[in-house]
Every structure is written in C-alpha cells, then in structure tokens.
C-alpha cells in the first residue's frame, strides 16, 4: 500500500499564510478599487456636468453681450438723428455704434482671441446703414458685405419676427437680426449682428478633449452650427432646458436670448477613459503589493517554522546518531517549553537505557556465574561416576555401591532444580540413597525400613526434597545421640486428604 504523501510544515504554513494574505490583500485592494472607482466616477461625472454647464454659460455670456448691445443702442441718444434720418453724421453715428457694440471688448472675445460678433450693421427705417467691424477691410469688400446684409435686413423686415437668424452666409457667418424699438415699442431700425462660426468652433473646441463630444446651436427650427456627431438636429430640438443623462450620454441644454439654444453632449465613456490609466496604475500597485506581501509573509513564515525544522532535525538525530543529542533553547516561550520537555525526556530515556543496560550486564554476569557454578557439580558428578565404574571394574562392589548411591543422591539434589514436584517413588529413592550411605557410616548402630505404598501412592506428586531433609534431620538429631540402635522407618500411604 502506497504511503500517503505528506507536506512539510514549512510549506504548509507558508502556503496557508500566503493564501490568507493574498485573500486579505485582494479583498482590501478590490474593495478600495471599487470605492475609488465609484467615488472617482461620481466626481468625474459631476465635473463633466459642471463643464457642460459652464460651457453653456460661456455661450450665454456672448449672447448676453449682444443683448446688452441692443439695449445700449435703444438708449443711445446720440443715435436719435440716425434713427430719424435727420441729417446725421455717418462717422459720428458709427462711433456711437462702436461704443454700443464694442467688438474689441473682452466679453466679445473667445479664449482663442476670435470675436464672437465680428461685424455689426445698423439700419434705420429708411435703410440707411452704419457699421462697425472687428477686422479692417477694403472699401470694395465692405460695400459688398453691406449690400449682402442690406438684403438680409430687407428680408427680415418683411417678417413680423422680433429677431431671426440667417445661416449659410459666406465665410461661415451667421446673421442675427433683431429690431431696435423705442420707449413706445415702435421700431426705430434693425440691427444685424454677424456671428462668426469660427468663434463658435473655438468656443466649443475645449470640449474636444473629451471623446465623442458634440455641440449644437439652433434658433427655433434653424440649425446654426454643429460640432461632433453625438447629437442630431432632431434630438437637439426635442430637448428642454436642463441637464440630462440618457443612454450613457450627459447633456446640457440652455436657451439664451434671441431664442439661441445651445445643446452640448458628452459620452459617459469619457469617465472610464479618464479612469483607465488610474485603474491600470492601481492594478499594478495591487500586484506589486501582493508580491511584496507574499514575499514578506513567506519570509516571516519561514522564520517562524525554522525552530520546528531545527526541532525535527534534532529529534531525528536523537537515537540514530547519539542519545546525547539535546534540543537547543529558543527565545520564544512555547518553543522553550517544548525544548525543555524534550531534553528532560531525553535525559530520562538515557538514564533508563543505562539502567536497563547495566541490569542486563548484571544478569549476564549472574548467568555466567551460574553456569560456572554448575561446572563444579557436573565435574564432581562425573568424577563420582568414573570412580564407581573403576571400583566395579576392580571388583569392589561395596565401594561401587557407595559411590553410585552418592552420585545418584548428588544428581537428584542438584541437577533437577527445575522440577518443583516429583513422584513419591523418586523422593523415596533419594531417601534410600541417603540412608544407604548413612548405614555404611553407622553400620550396626543404624537400621532403616522404607515402605513405598501402593503403585497409585508411588505416582503421587509431592514437593521435591520434602522427605529427604526430614530423614537427614532425624539422623542428625537422633542417630548421633542414641546409645542404642537407631531405627528409621519411612512409609507412604493414602488418606482421605491425600498422601501421608
């Protein structure tokens, strides 16, 4: 059966700490990115809305410049002679027109330095004309333009509108016509303010920093200018004043004086386009933070498990190389306790091993001594047997009998030490050998009689050397002290409790 593959503690702890760190850092990083993107998107959207509103307000300020000029013309007493066609001086009248319509005013200039109103023509009811120009021109060109806008003025006069715009003129010019009224609301004349389409383009060009930007200027149903394709004329005309957010598009609509209407739109994708570099930087920063965190955590985990690795090496070395290996001390309290407990256990194991080893040596020495002690009885028994054999060969049967009896008694007492119980008849044989030898010693002073009993009794087991020491004790205390013959009787019989 294949042994299950095990992972090292350092790798396990390292993987767990790195995984947990990655999880925490990813969670915090993603949470931070989501919060940042949400807040940034809201802020960017507010800025885009403010941009649209400010741009429309800028356009409205130019229209307000024309309105202020119209009011100035109405209240300019120096132009009464011109409006009444009563012997007016043209140069003086044009000077007053320039005063009312200061084309060189900062209010009339775009950020690019172009005039919003490049020319102004004022006609009285008798079609007399005075003008003010931003750009100087030749006499022939001036007369040509005056004739052109006189035609526009005549077309406008035939209508009942208070104001109107005529687009499509040469050089990208837009003619804004409005009536100049007196205090009684009677027409004194018509003013034609020539708007320059290039100025409108410069005004709205700052919106080109956004992707998919569009600006539309209309008056009523008339399209005066359009920049970008995000909005169509129909969509621009259908919207009311205000801020809109439709189909991913931010829009702002503002109707200024003379019913001039500006509609500006920006695609909301600009938020994400602006956000994209920041998000990329944040992702790279998150990856760098993850890499750094993983490296730091892995280093810390390795440092943390280094004591475990050292402990493992020292435990493995204990018993394989030497029992004297001891675990080093560590500054961390828990590791110190483990080290102390291991060293204490190692000391006990070492001590117990030495004790067992010493006892084994003592046991081996005792066994050797026992074997050596057995050599002498064996040697003696062999000598006795050899002497008995020699006596018999020499024809000395009496000596043979004594030597043989002593040898058998010696054998029964010494060489059968492993037997705890023996049959009664074997014990009686030992008694017989002992009494036979004592009979040879005491001769006629000792007599003995042995009765083995029935065969069943003879086979009964009794403790070894139960009877022989009793007989030996009787001889020692009786035969040597009696003046008459000592008679020893030994018999065995069966009783209700066993053998007696």
Nearest to 152 by CA among 184, 194, 112, 203: 194
3-state SS class at 21: helix
Task: Report phi then psi at 132, rounded to 5.
Answer: -135, 135
Q: What is the pLDDT of residues 56-99, one digit of tens each?
A: 999 999 999 999 999 999 889 889 889 888 888 889 999 999 99
Per-residue model confidence (pLDDT) at position 269: 81
Rounded to the nearest 10 degrees, the angle between the axes of helix 397-414 and helix 333-393 is 170
| Residue 8: other Cβ atoms inside 10 A | 12
With a cut of 70, say whether residue 255 has pLDDT above it. Answer: yes
Rounded Cα–Cα distance for residues 326 and 319 (Å): 11
For residues 291-320, give the mean pLDDT: 73
Of 115 and 479, more confident: 115
Q: Kindly state the tokens that stand for 448.
A: 């003995």
Alpha carbon of 125 to those of 23, 158, 165, 188, 299: distances in Å? 83, 12, 19, 6, 94
What value does the mean pLDDT of the chain take? 81
Comparing 35-39, 202-206, 488-492, the range with the smallest average pLDDT is 488-492
Instruction: Say if CB 222 and CB 165 are below 8 A apart.
Output: yes
Comparing 39-53, 59-73, 419-433, the range with the smallest average pLDDT is 419-433
With a cut of 70, say whether residue 6 has pLDDT above it. Answer: no
pLDDT tier at 340, thresholds 50, 70, 90? confident
pLDDT tier at 372, thresholds 50, 70, 90? low
Handedness of CA 392, 394, 396, 400 (dihedral sign): negative
For residues 472-483, give the mean pLDDT: 73
Instruction: Say if CB 45 and CB 275 are below 8 A apart.
Output: no
Q: Of all helices (H) and strands (E), which one includes residue 449?
A: strand 446-451
Instruction: Say if CB 498 and CB 457 are below 8 A apart.
Output: no
With a cut of 70, say whether residue 436 has pLDDT above it. Answer: yes
With a cut of 80, say whether residue 479 has pLDDT above it. Answer: no
Nearest to 438 by CA among 428, 427, 448: 448
Per-residue model confidence (pLDDT) at position 10: 64
With a cut of 90, say whether residue 212 has pLDDT above it. Answer: no
Q: Kindly state the tokens that stand for 326.
A: 């001891």
Q: Which residue is associated with the tokens 């011109």?
A: 82
Q: What is the pLDDT of residues 258-269, one digit of tens each?
A: 889 999 988 888
β-strands 249-255, 446-451 pairing? unpaired
Of 253 and 40, more confident: 253
Per-residue model confidence (pLDDT) at position 168: 64
Query: Residue-wise over 98-133: b if at least 16 C-beta within 10 A, else e?
Result: bebbbbeeeebbbeeebbbbbbbbbbbeeeebbbbb
Of 431 and 133, more confident: 133
Residue by residue, DSSP assigns 193-260 as: EEEEHHHHHHHHHGGGGSSSEEEEEEETTEEEEEESSSS-HHHHHHPPSEEEEETTEEEEEEE-GGGE
Instruction: Say if CB 267 and CB 246 are below 8 A apart.
Output: no
With a cut of 70, say whether residue 418 has pLDDT above it. Answer: no
Q: Helix-strand-coil percent breakdown of the chain, rounded to 5? A: 60, 20, 20
Per-residue model confidence (pLDDT) at position 188: 92
The rounded percent of the chain whose pLDDT value lies above 70 is 85
For residues 213-235, give the mean pLDDT: 84
Classify residue 7 by burial, with Cβ atoms within 10 Å: 0-12, 13-18, 19+: exposed
Instruction: Say if CB 77 and CB 131 are below 8 A apart.
Output: no
3-state SS class at 188: strand
Instruction: Say if CB 61 and CB 257 are below 8 A apart.
Output: no
With a cut of 50, say whether residue 368 has pLDDT above it. Answer: yes
Per-residue model confidence (pLDDT) at position 373: 54
Per-residue model confidence (pLDDT) at position 1: 45
Q: Kindly state the tokens that stand for 288.
A: 């760098």
For residues 363-369, give the mean pLDDT: 68
Per-residue model confidence (pLDDT) at position 249: 86
Of 359 and 166, more confident: 166
pLDDT tier at 450, thresholds 50, 70, 90? confident
For residues 195-214, give the mean pLDDT: 86
Q: Kindly state the tokens that stand for 473.
A: 């004790």
């Amino acid at each position: 059966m294949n042994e299950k593959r095990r992972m090292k503690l350092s790798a396990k702890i390292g993987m767990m700490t790195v995984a947990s760190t990655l999880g925490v850092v990813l969670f915090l990083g993603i949470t931070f990115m989501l919060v940042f993107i949400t807040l940034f998107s809201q802020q960017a959207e507010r800025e885009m809305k403010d941009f649209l509103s400010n741009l429309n307000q800028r356009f409205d300020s130019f229209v307000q410049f024309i309105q202020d000029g119209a009011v100035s013309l109405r209240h300019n007493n120096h132009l009464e002679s011109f409006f009444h066609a009563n012997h007016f001086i043209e140069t003086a009248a044009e000077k007053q027109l320039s005063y009312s319509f200061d084309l060189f005013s900062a209010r009339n200039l775009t950020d690019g330095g172009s005039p919003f109103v490049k020319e102004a023509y004022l006609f009285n009811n008798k079609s007399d004309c005075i003008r003010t120009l931003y750009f100087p021109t030749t006499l022939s060109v001036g007369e040509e333009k005056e004739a052109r806008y006189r035609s526009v003025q005549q077309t406008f006069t035939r209508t009942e509108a208070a104001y109107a715009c005529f687009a499509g003129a040469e050089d990208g010019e837009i003619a804004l016509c409005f009536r100049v009224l007196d205090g009684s609301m009677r027409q004194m004349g018509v003013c034609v303010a020539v708007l320059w389409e290039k100025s409108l383009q410069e005004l709205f060009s700052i919106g080109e920093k956004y992707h998919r930007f569009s600006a539309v200027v209309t008056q009523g149903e008339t399209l005066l200018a359009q920049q970008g394709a995000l909005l169509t004329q129909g969509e621009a005309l259908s919207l009311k004043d205000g801020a809109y957010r439709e189909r991913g598009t931010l829009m702002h609509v503002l109707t200024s004086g003379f019913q001039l209407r500006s509609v500006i739109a920006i695609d909301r994708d600009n938020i994400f386009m602006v956000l994209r570099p920041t998000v990329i930087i944040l992702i790279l920063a998150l990856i760098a933070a993850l890499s750094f965190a993983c490296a730091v955590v892995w280093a810390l985990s390795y440092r943390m498990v280094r004591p475990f690795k050292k402990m493992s090496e020292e435990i493995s070395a204990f018993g394989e190389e030497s029992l004297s290996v001891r675990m080093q001390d560590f500054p961390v309290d828990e590791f110190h306790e483990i080290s102390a407990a291991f060293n204490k256990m190692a000391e006990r194991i070492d001590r117990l091993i030495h004790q067992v080893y010493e006892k084994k040596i003592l046991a081996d020495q005792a066994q050797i001594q026992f074997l050596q002690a057995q050599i002498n009885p064996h040697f003696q028994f062999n000598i006795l047997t050899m002497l008995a054999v020699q006596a018999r060969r020499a024809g000395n049967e009496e000596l043979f009998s004594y030597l043989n009896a002593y040898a058998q008694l010696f054998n029964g007492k010494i060489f059968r030490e492993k037997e705890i119980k023996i049959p009664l008849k074997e014990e009686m044989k030992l008694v017989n050998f002992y009494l036979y030898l004592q009979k040879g010693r005491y001769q006629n002073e000792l007599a003995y009689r042995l009765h083995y009993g029935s065969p069943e009794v003879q086979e009964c087991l009794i403790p070894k050397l139960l009877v022989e020491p009793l007989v030996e004790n009787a001889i020692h205390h009786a035969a040597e002290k009696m003046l008459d013959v000592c008679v020893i009787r030994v018999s065995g019989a069966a009783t209700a409790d066993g053998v007696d």
